[in-house]
A and B are shown apart, each in its own frame.
Chain A
Amino acid sequence: MMENRPHERTDRPPTLSIENLTIEFSRRRVWTPVVRDVSLRIWPGEIVGVIGESGSGKTLTSLAALRLLPRQARIAAGKVRLGETDILSRTDAQMRELRGNRMALIPQDAMQSLNPTMRVGHQVGEPLNLHRGMPLRAAAAAARKFLETVRIREPERRAREFPHQFSGGMQQRAMIAMGLALAPDLLIADEPTTALDVTVQAQVLKLLREIRDNSGTSILFITHDLGVVAELCDWVYVLREGSVVEEGPVRRIFAAPQAEYTRMLLAATPSLHEPRRAGEAA
Chain B
Amino acid sequence: MARFLLTRLAAFVLTMFAASIILFIAINVVPGSAARSALGIDATPQAIARFEASRGLDRPLVVQYAEWLRKAVTGDLGTSFQNGVPVGPELLTRIPVTLELALLAFLVANLIAFPLGVMAAARHQGWVDRAFSTLASLLGAVPNFWLATLLVMLFTLWLRWLPPGGYVPLGTDPVANLKLMIMPALSLGLVSSALLLRIMRASMIEVLSRDYIRTAHAKGASEWVTLRRHGLRNATIPYINVAAVEFGFLFGSVVVIEDIFQLPGIGSLVLVGIINRDYPVLMGGALVITLFVLVTNLLVDIAVGFLDPRRAKEGQA
Contact = CB atoms under 8 A, between A and B. Distances in A.
Contacts of B313: 164
A164 B309 contact: yes
A271 B307 CA distance: 47
A100 B234 contact: no
A151 interface: no
B3 interface: no
B308 interface: yes
Interface in A98-112: 98-101, 104-105, 107, 109, 112
Contact of B214 (A97, A98, A107, A116): A107
**5 smallest beta-carbon distances between A and B, as pairs:** A100-B219, A99-B220, A112-B211, A105-B218, A100-B220
Interface in A175-193: 175, 178
A118 B210 contact: no
Interface stretch (A27-35, A73-81, A125-133, A253-261): A125-133
A107 B220 contact: no
**Chain A interface size range:** 20 to 34
Interface of A: 66, 68, 96-101, 104-105, 107, 109, 112-118, 123, 126-127, 130-131, 162, 164, 175, 178
B259 to A, nearest CB: 43
Given A162-B309, A164-B309, A164-B310, A113 B211 contact: yes
B212 interface: yes
B222 A115 contact: no
A162 B313 CA distance: 11
**Chain B interface size range:** 20 to 34
Q: Interface on chain B toward A: helix, strand, loop, or mixed SS?
A: helix
Given A68-B214, A107-B215, A117 B307 contact: yes
A116 B219 contact: no
A71 to B, nearest CB: 9
A68 B214 CA distance: 8
Given A107-B211, A109-B211, A112-B211, A117 B233 contact: yes
B310 A130 contact: no
B218 A116 contact: no
Contacts, number: 74
B13 interface: no
B220 A97 contact: yes
23 contacts: A68-B218, A96-B220, A96-B222, A99-B217, A99-B218, A100-B219, A101-B220, A107-B211, A112-B212, A113-B211, A115-B216, A115-B233, A116-B212, A118-B229, A126-B216, A126-B219, A127-B219, A130-B221, A130-B225, A162-B309, A164-B310, A178-B215, A178-B219
Interface in B268-317: 307-310, 313
B230 interface: yes
B31 to A, nearest CB: 54
A131 B222 CA distance: 11
Given A100-B220, A112-B210, A114-B212, 15 more contacts: A66-B218, A68-B214, A96-B220, A98-B220, A99-B219, A100-B218, A100-B221, A107-B218, A116-B212, A117-B237, A118-B230, A123-B215, A126-B216, A127-B219, A178-B215
B310 to A, nearest CB: 6
A99 B220 CA distance: 5
Given A115-B230, A117-B307, A96 B221 contact: yes
Contacts of A164: 309-310, 313
Nearest to B233: A117
Contacts of B233: 115, 117-118
Contacts of B216: 115, 126
Contact of A117 (B217, B219, B220, B234): B234
A107 B210 CA distance: 13
Nearest to B218: A105
A100 B214 CA distance: 12
Contacts of A99: 217-220
Nearest to A175: B215
A51 B234 CA distance: 35
A102 to B, nearest CB: 10
Interface in B227-242: 229-230, 233-234, 237
A178 to B, nearest CB: 7
Contacts of A105: 215, 218
B268 to A, nearest CB: 42
